[in-house]
Amino acid sequence: MAINTTVTEFILLGLSQNPRMQTILFLIFLVIYITTWLGNLTIITIVIFILHFHTPMYFLLANLAVIDISDSTVTAIKMLRDLSSHTNTISYNWCIAQIFLIHFTGGAVVFLLAVMAVDRYIAIYKPLQYLLIMHQGTCIGLVAGAWLGGFAHSIVQVALILQLPFCGPNLLDNFYCDVPQLIKLACTDTYITELLMVSNSGFLLTLVFLALLVSYSVILIKIRKHVTEGKHKALSTCAAQIIVMSLKFVPGMYVYDRPFRVFPGDKIVAMCYTLITPMLNPMIFTLRNREMKDTIKKLIRKMMSFTIKESK
């Protein structure tokens, strides 16, 4: 616990204080969480067990699915528990741990999306050298780098929070612990700390987002000028990555790109990038990828055929 901190737990106001509404929200978010697991686990399973998908692009996609499951779990488990039991407290230590995990997985997603953009750039600009550059060792190193980048980002966030004293009040207007709401409860001047955190989160997000926009613009120009057999596939893949990138970056920039003022819409925005986006990512990549769609259809047909045979 931080020095001079007397608060031992925080009260999360959540999305609603109405018990009936909490039950409805529990069912909605349980479905969202299960869907997140099913969609991302499907991608991971296909990439692992089907030889055709043993390529750098799908390796990175499977790792994105792993991060999406982790990212969703960090917030969903606690929220579902609170909604089902109608309790809303979290200890100081668990609050700090949740902040660490949220920024760890969130930072890893940011860096992995950058890696995926680099992968597409090399595939389109250097197609003959693609497999030589993006070999297994390179892919593993880039994914490890994304996780390490997320870890470094998260450590900085937590280190700054631990320097702040908390002596009351302890009401957090959110459904999970995060920096913008928590920092306002510190019983000291936090202006400098807020600027440091904005530069570590908001500035980082904006910088990477702009760099990715430029890189995807260059890629799309290249695709447009050179009509090839794989043009449609390349467009679909890039479009899917741009959509996923926007779903993650735009809400994140809204929350972290300003000295921390809490707005009524913050919880809705936070819900989008912590719970909704991890659920949508596998759907977006699947719907825009013919190979993945065809494989899933074949697996479903095989499973149905096996079930019918077993029932007989």
Q: Domain with 71 in it: what CATH number?
A: 1.20.1070.10
> Measured at the alpha carbon of residue 151, what is the angle toward residues 149 and 155, in degrees to the nearest 5?
120
Considering only CA atoms, which of 298, 297, 238, 283 is closest in space to residue 65?
Answer: 283
CB atoms closer than 10 angstroms to residue 245: 21
Predicted pLDDT at 139: 95
CB atoms closer than 10 angstroms to residue 69: 21
Tokens of 183: 């920092």
Predicted pLDDT at 300: 77
Domain that holds residue 64: 9-306
Instruction: Confirm whether 1 is domain-assigned.
Output: no
| Residue range 227-247: mean pLDDT, rounded | 75
| pLDDT at residue 15 greater than cutoff 80 | yes
Kindly state the helix (H) or strand (E) to which residue 129 belongs, with its residue range: none
Instruction: Confirm whether 3 is domain-assigned.
Output: no
Model confidence pTM above 0.85? yes
Phi, psi (deg, nearest 5) at residue 125: -90, -25
Q: What digits encode the pLDDT tens for the residues 66-124?
A: 999 999 999 999 999 999 887 889 999 999 999 999 999 999 999 999 999 999 888 88
SS3 178: coil
Instruction: Confirm whether 181 is domain-assigned.
Output: yes
Considering only CA atoms, which of 32, 252, 78, 278 is closest in space to residue 174?
Answer: 78
Cα–Cα distance, 73 to 96 (Å, whole number): 16
Bridge-based pairing state of the strands 171-172 and 89-91? unpaired
| Residue range 282-298: mean pLDDT, rounded | 80
Instruction: Confirm whether 128 is domain-assigned.
Output: yes
**DSSP state for residue 148 in the 8-state scheme:** H
Instruction: Confirm whether 312 is domain-assigned.
Output: no
Cα–Cα distance, 35 to 72 (Å, whole number): 11
Kindly state the helix (H) or strand (E) to which residue 257 belongs, with its residue range: none
Instruction: Confirm whether 4 is domain-assigned.
Output: no
State how far Cα 31 lies from the chain centre.
Answer: 18
Regarding predicted confidence, which is higher, 205 or 98?
A: 98
Mean pLDDT is lowest, of 101-110, 154-163, 217-226, 247-256, for 217-226
Question: Are 112 and 64 spatial neighbours (Cβ–Cβ below 8 Å)?
Answer: yes
Instruction: Confirm whether 2 is domain-assigned.
Output: no
| Residue range 115-135: mean pLDDT, rounded | 89
Cα–Cα distance, 131 to 57 (Å, whole number): 11
Instruction: Please count the structural domains in the chain.
Output: 1
**CB contact set of 211 (below 8 Å; sequence gap of 6+):** 114
| Residue range 127-150: mean pLDDT, rounded | 93
**DSSP state for residue 187 in the 8-state scheme:** S
**pLDDT above 70 covers what percent of the chain?**
91
Instruction: Confirm whether 176 is domain-assigned.
Output: yes
**The length of the chain, given as a count of residues:** 312
**DSSP state for residue 93 in the 8-state scheme:** H
Regarding predicted confidence, which is higher, 103 or 235?
A: 103
